[in-house]
Structure 1
Amino acid sequence: MNRREECFMSKQIIFKSVFAPYFNSFLQMKEQLGFGLPKFQNVFTELDHFFLATGATEPHITRDQINAWSETRFNDKARTLYDKHSIMRQFCRYLCHLGHECYIHRLPRKNWPPFIPYIFSHKEMELIFGASDKLTLPYRCMTSVLIAVPCLIRVLYSTGMRIGEALFLKNEDIDFLRKHILLKRTKNQEERLLPICPSLLEVLNKYKAYRDRIPIKGVSASGSFFFVSTVGKPISKNSIHRWFSEILVECRIPRRNDGQGPRIHDIRHTTAVHSLMQMVRDGMDVYCAMPILSVFLGHKSLAGTETYVRLTQEMYPDILGMKYPVTSSVFPNNPYIETDHGNN
């Protein structure tokens, strides 16, 4: 078990309901398959409290129990509730597989509006890089993640990786000689290789040189985390989110009215839009650009990447010729699209 997982497991609440051993074995199974545990742990904690409060004594779940539990989640947003029902459904199927009969319910309808990410302009990204370089601690603190923030933000923008993927990087995952980064733990549980451009290589080398000066044993070991705090500990997402909020304030990039961003994850969306824009500007056919972008982002299919075509067209309407079926399927009513309904 790695250090980050040890941290998660050390914070794990001990389950007390009749389902406790099944919660633990389910989590162990998911861990062995390469899934992240926190989301499952949070839902199981809620379920454990619910089953304790309702006096469940048998390890099987009925339709009435699922409905009663669902009624207690009235404050959850539609997307959050959907995810929780998905985990509940997986757990019920798991119990059935073990011989404990459970009701397998249907998932709620996906009735939430599509989320529109914030796409930073090139100028805003320059401001973000500059602000990250000028960050300072407001007070003396022995433990800080500030040393990693400037490099981390540039890694996110250059590679399009998710923040969780970046924070999980080990020293051995970054090949400075061959100039690539190996992502071992990804959202889709599939490894992928990302190139390191010359400017990013310079940033990585500079960060590594300063980080290796930290008088902590093993900080440069191959199996240690690449991004660490000043005491050599792994960095949490919350710490990065807080500093990123400071950067946005410094850059005078306002919060959205819905309170949903800009987020640090929007750097990934920005990378996708900027990359697609650059490929098309360089003369690459969108048919060729889309599969490349899809692999680069680690999507399982083009469907997960098509959103970026729409975002690129909205922000840079002069970029795409808008004569391609792959884009016309995203913009069925766009007047700039020329579609021949006679050809299928």
Structure 2
Amino acid sequence: MSRKEVFFMDRQFKYRSVFSPYFESFMKMKDAMGYGLNKFGYTFLELDRFFLETGATDTYITSRQIAAWRATRSNDGARTLYEKYSVLSQFCRYMCHLGHECYVPRMPKRKEIDFMPYVFTHEQMGSIFRECDGLAISNCSNMSTALVAIPALIRLLYSTGARIGEALAIRNMDIDYAHDRIIITETKNKMQRMVPINPSLKEVMKQYESYRDRMPVEGLADRERSFFVTANGRPFARGTAYSWFKKVLKQCGIPHIGKQQGPRVHDIRHTCAVHSLEKMVKSGADIYCALPILSTFLGHKTIAGTEKYVRMTREIHPDIIDKENVLTSFVFPIKTETDIDYGNDY
């Protein structure tokens, strides 16, 4: 079984509509071709739910069905909708190739949006860490809670600049404490990369492991198991991380605008990049010598993908652009009042 197949079984991408076998065969085809599967898997879950709710029984897709599905996506941003249409169009062509006549939708116009991510200040990140540590479980019988992992997850995102999907896909075997690094395998660009673990993050990760492994679930430390898990030992979805993050922002007094305006969990990655670039320049590095380092660190294919951080850094810290001891950002250790026995909560 391939790594991606294991990953998607863990995420329970299980389809139940009349199109379920075709969604699965399409995913296997894309996997064999070396494509990342996240985009397809989540879009198919949405489409699968739509076909179930509308009682679809025939294995062909009409223009009327597509219009009805589109009407349910009023909250999607232009970029998100474009990506979903891309998946749907490819799937309809695939069905036609198999002999099932489907309407192939026209792609919507793609608007180029000059989106400016939200970059948290150092003070705001400190506040976010403190509020993560202070989160409490309102229902002790909730065995699907991911609360135990949230403080460590947010710190890992900030220290490594990893995407949320990359972080949640980390397995125990991907972590190499002996060499202070994590192997990131589930990447956006399908390019495996290593990210360094600095001493403060290493301490946080080991502290999380000690609490996690005390939960009454067998095999949590097994090599193939996910590093970040819920109270019942299962990997948790991005939506869970987003929900907790919104609660933290509210408690920090940071407004969450929503509707693609953020702040988003992904903005922690942008914050990591800006803070790292700021630190390198303040340490005496030439900004254009620092860019290739930052680009490799973030897993970008080209320097062009990293250059926007120069603009962001200039706007936020204009004093440092015109003037690495360590690239990764320091994270504060998790603060607890006592050595909490998490086993009591689960």
TM over 0.5: yes
CA 1:90–1:198 in 2, change beyond 3 Å: closer, same or farther? same
Query: How far did residue 84 of structure 1 move?
Result: 2.3
1:119 paired residue number: 119
Q: How has the CA–CA distance of structure 1 residues 51 and 302 changed in structure 2, closer, same or farther, with 3 Å as cutoff?
A: farther
For 1:131, the equivalent position in structure 2 comes to 131
On the 8 A contact 2:277/2:290 being kept in 1, the answer is yes
Partner of 1:301: 302
What are the Cα deviations for residues 205-227 of structure 1, in whole angstroms up to 9, with x where unaligned?
Answer: 11112222223211111111111
The residue number in structure 1 matching 2:314 is 313
Cα distance in 1 for residues equivalent to 2:21 and 2:138: 46
Check if 1:151 corresponds to 2:142. no
Tell me, yes or no, if the aligned pair for 1:171 and 1:225 is still in contact at 8 Å. yes
Tell me what 2:17 maps to: 14
CA distance in 1 between partners of 2:302 and 2:67 (Å): 32
2:70 corresponds in structure 1 to 73
Structure 1: segments with no counterpart, 5+ residues: 323-344
How far is 1:141 from its partner? 2.7
- Structure 1 match to 2:193: 192
Contact 2:13 2:45 in 1 (8 A): no
Larger Rg belongs to: 1
Higher relative contact order by CA 8 Å / sep ≥ 6: 1 or 2?
2
Distance 2:322 2:224 in 1: 47
The one-letter amino acid paired with 1:268 is: R
Instruction: Specify the alignment match of 2:329 in structure 1.
Output: none
Letter matched to residue 285 of structure 2: M
Q: Distance in 1 between matches of 2:54 and 2:267?
A: 38
Distance 1:46 1:319, change over 3 A: same
Alpha-carbon distance in structure 2 between the residues aligned to 1:308 and 1:10: 35
- Alpha-carbon distance, 1:257 to partner: 7.3
- Aligned twin of 1:283: 284
1:246-304: per-residue Cα shift (whole Å, max 9, x none)?
Answer: 21122111223757321111101100111111112222222221111111111112222
In structure 2, relative to structure 1, the CA distance for the partners of 1:201 and 1:239 (3 Å cut) is same
Do the aligned partners of residues 50 and 94 (structure 1) sit closer, same or farther apart at CA in structure 2, a change above 3 Å counting?
farther
Distance 1:169 1:114, change over 3 A: same
Q: For residue 147 of structure 1, give the secondary structure of its aligned residue in structure 2.
A: helix
Residue 272 of structure 2: aligned partner: 271
Identical residues among aligned pairs (%): 45
CA distance in 1, matches of 2:250, 2:244: 10
Distance 2:263 2:141 in 1: 28
Q: How does 1:31-180 map to 2 (within 5 A)?
A: 31-32=31-32, 33=34, 34-36=36-38, 37-42=40-45, 44-45=47-48, 69=66, 73-74=70-71, 75=74, 76-92=76-92, 94=94, 107-111=107-111, 113-143=113-143, 144-180=145-181
TM-score, normalization by structure 1? 0.79
Aligned-residue offset at 1:188: 1.4
Report what 1:332 is aligned to. none
* Aligned-residue offset at 1:126: 0.6
Q: Is the CA contact 1:8–1:38 (under 8 Å) kept in the aligned structure 2? A: no
Query: Which stretch of structure 1 is more off in the superposition, 96-105 or 3-12?
Result: 96-105
> Residue deviations 1:48-105, cap 9 Å, x none?
679986x977x7x8xxx66983586253542233112222343355457668898877
Q: CA deviation at 1:316?
A: 0.9
Change (3 A) 1:113 1:142: closer
Aligned-partner residue type, residue 131 of structure 1: E
Asked whether the 8 Å contact 2:50–2:69 carries over to 1, the reply is no
Q: Distance in 1 between matches of 2:17 and 2:52?
A: 11
Residue 116 of structure 1 aligns to which amino acid in structure 2? M
1:328-339 aligned at under 5 Å gives the runs none
